[in-house]
Structure 1
C-alpha cells in the first residue's frame, strides 16, 4: 500500500507540435498584408493625382520638393488654390525688397491669368498649374529668381501629365532691387561668343538670332541660360544650359554695369560736338547731373588742349557715366585730306584726351558728318552720325532747338545732334531733359544705344551712317 504521506509525481503534460505548414501560411499572409499596406501607402504618397483639397496640397508639395533646385535667397511662401476642375499652387520667395517682390508677384500673376483664361472653371478632367521658383545668389551683389510654371492635365486613367513648361527670370541688384539685364552682366559681343560656345557643345539652334539671351540667372561666378523647346538642337522641352565663368573668354563683366537700363523701354542718345568749352560744357554737365541723365561728347583735340578746365570736364563726364568720343583734332573735312592726315587727326585727339583722362575716346564722329568705312578703319573706332539734327549751330536759339527735338516724332533708338559750345544749346539741354523723362525716354550713350537697341558690339570698328539709327 502506498503511504498517505507519499507525494505524487507530477504528471507531465504533452505539448502538441505546431504544424510547419501553418507557420508558413501565417508568414505569407503577414507579408501579403504588409506589402499591400506598403503598396497602398506608396500609391497614396506618390500618386500623380488627387481627389480633394488636402490631396492636392500633398500632390503640390511633392512636385515642389522634386523641382525646386536652389533656394539661396528669400523666405519661401506657399499658396494653394483648390478647385474641383482647375487647381493651382505657388511656391515663391519673399526677398524683402519692395520692387523685387512686386516684380515676382507680377510675373506670377501673369502666369495665373494666362492659366485662368485658357482653362476657366470647368472641364472634362482635372488640370493643375504648379509655379515654383529657383533662387540664386551671384558673386557681384546680384540675386536671380527663376519662375518655373508647369501645367498638368489628367489622362484617361486620371493621372496628371505635364503638357507645358515655361520659365521667366528676373536678376536684380540685391541692394536696391534694380533689374540686371544680360547687357549689364556680360561684355559687348556676348551673344556671338555664347552662340559659338553653345554650338561647340552641340546646341546648334542656340546660335540662332532669335534666341533670347535675357533669360538667365547668375549663380556665384557662373550663369544659367534657359531655352524654349526647339531653340536648342534635339531638345523638345525647355532646356537649361550652364556656363561656367571661364568656359567662354571675356564674356562675364568684371563688374556688373550699374546703370539699370531697361531695353524694353524707349531710349535716346544725346550727343554734343565741338567741345569742350569753358562754362558751356560745365553748364551742360550740371543739367545732366541734375536730371540723372547721360550723353556722348565728341570732343575736338585742339579744344581739349586749349581749354584750361578740359581735364576737370573730361573726368566729370566719366563720373556721370557719359561717353567721350573724338571729333577729330581741328575739324577738317576728312574727304579732302590724305589717309595720313586722317590718322594724324585721330592720333593727336587720342593723345590729348588720354593725357588728361588716362584713356582714349571710344567712338568718333567725322566733322560735317563726312565719314565712311575707310575713315572709320583709319580712326580704328566706331563712327557715329545722327538721326535728329537740332540745327543749334544755325538757330543759336534754345526754344528752336527744343521744338526741333519735340517735333521729331518717336525718338526711341535715335541719336540727337547738338553742340557744347553754345549757351543756347546748354539752355535747351536744361529744358529738354525733364521733357524727355516725362515722355518715358531713358537717356543713354551711343554705345549703350548700340548694345541695347540694335544688338551691336559697340567696340567693333563699324560706320553707323545717317540712316542707321531708326528702329523698324
Structure 2
C-alpha cells in the first residue's frame, strides 16, 4: 500500500514538471518573436520605410505636374543695368533714363574692426554699398563669419587683394596670387566670386587689368575720399567734407575705409547726400564687363 502511494506521487510530480517546462518554452519563443517585429508605436522598420517612399513619390508627382503647368518658379533675373563706369574720372554715368544725380558708396580694407557695424548701419538706412576686402582680414573662422554676415545682408563683396601691396612693385605671379587668392576665399565663404576689383592705392598694371577682365570683374578706382587724412579722422569733419566737397558731382564714386571715425560718420554722410538730392547707386544696377574668353 505504501509503495503504491509513493508511485502515485512520483507520477504526479513528473506531470507537473513537464507542464512547467512547456510554459517556459512558450514564453521564450514569444520574446524572440517580439524582438524581430517593427515597433508598432514608433513606426520604425518596414512601415516607416514605406511611408518615406510614398512621400517621395508624391513629391515627384507634384513637381512633375507643376512643370507641366508652368508653375515652377523661375530663377531671379539680374537687375537691369542703370549705370556705367566712366574710366576717365572713375564716376558712373546713367544709362537711359536712370537718375543722373547719384553716388556710389564703397568701403576698402574690410572686414577689419568696424565693417560689420557699418554694414548694419547701412542696412538700417537702406543704403547700398560695396565692401572691398583684403585677404588678411578673412583668414580666421571668426573673420569669415563676419564676411558672410555682411554678404547675407545684401552687400556685394569686392576684391582689394590679399595683403594690400603696391601691385607695380611685385612680379606678375605675385599679382595673380594677390587677386585670385581673394576670389577663392570670398567664393568659399559667400558662394560667389567678387564682381568688383580695386587695387591698393589705385595702382594697377597691364597684367592686373587683364586678369580682372579675365575674371569678369569691373576694375574701378574712385572719385574722392578723405578718411585717411589726419584732418578728417573724426566723425564731424569727415561727414562734412564727404557731403560738401567740390568733388561731389553726378555719379561720384566715394571711397571710405573700415575705420572707427568713418563708422561714426556714416549716418550723417548718407543723410547729407540724400538731403542734397543724391540717389545712392545700387551696385546690382552697375553694368558689368563681359568675361574674357
Same fold (TM over 0.5): yes
Partner of 1:271: 106
- Indicate whether 1:428 and 2:258 are aligned: no
Q: When the two structures are superposed, what TM-score results if normalisation uses the length of structure 1?
A: 0.39
Partner of 2:39: none
Find the residue that maps to 2:142 and give its secondary structure: coil
Unaligned runs of 5+ residues in structure 2 are 1-70, 72-77, 85-94
Could you tell me which of 108, 114, 127 is aligned with 1:293? Answer: 127
Partner of 1:382: 218
Could you tell me which of 217, 223, 227 is aligned with 1:391? Answer: 227
Alignment partners' CA distance in 2, 1:289 and 1:296: 12
Higher strand share: 1
Higher helix share: 2
Find the residue that maps to 1:274 and give its secondary structure: strand
CA deviations on 1:405-428 (whole Å, 9 max, x unpaired) are: 1232343201111101x1101011
Unaligned runs of 5+ residues in structure 1 are 1-138, 140-182, 190-212, 215-261, 452-456, 463-472
Summarize the alignment of residues 295-314 of structure 1 with structure 2, pairs less than 5 Å apart.
295-306=129-140, 308-314=142-148
Partner of 1:195: none
Give the number of equivalent residue pairs.
204
Find the residue that maps to 2:272 and give its secondary structure: helix
Alignment partners' CA distance in 2, 1:354 and 1:408: 36
Could you tell me which of 390, 414, 426 is aligned with 2:252? Answer: 414
Task: Answer yes or no: is the 8 Å Cα contact 1:301–1:328 preserved in 2.
Answer: yes
In angstroms, what is the RMSD of aligned CA positions? 3.2
Alignment partners' CA distance in 2, 1:393 and 1:313: 26
Partner of 2:169: 336
Alignment partners' CA distance in 1, 2:102 and 2:152: 20
CA deviations on 1:107-156 (whole Å, 9 max, x unpaired) are: xxxxxxxxxxxxxxxxxxxxxxxxxxxxxxxx9xxxxxxxxxxxxxxxxx
- Indicate whether 1:459 and 2:289 are aligned: yes
Find the residue that maps to 1:392 and give its secondary structure: coil
Task: Answer yes or no: is the 8 Å Cα contact 1:277–1:307 preserved in 2.
Answer: no
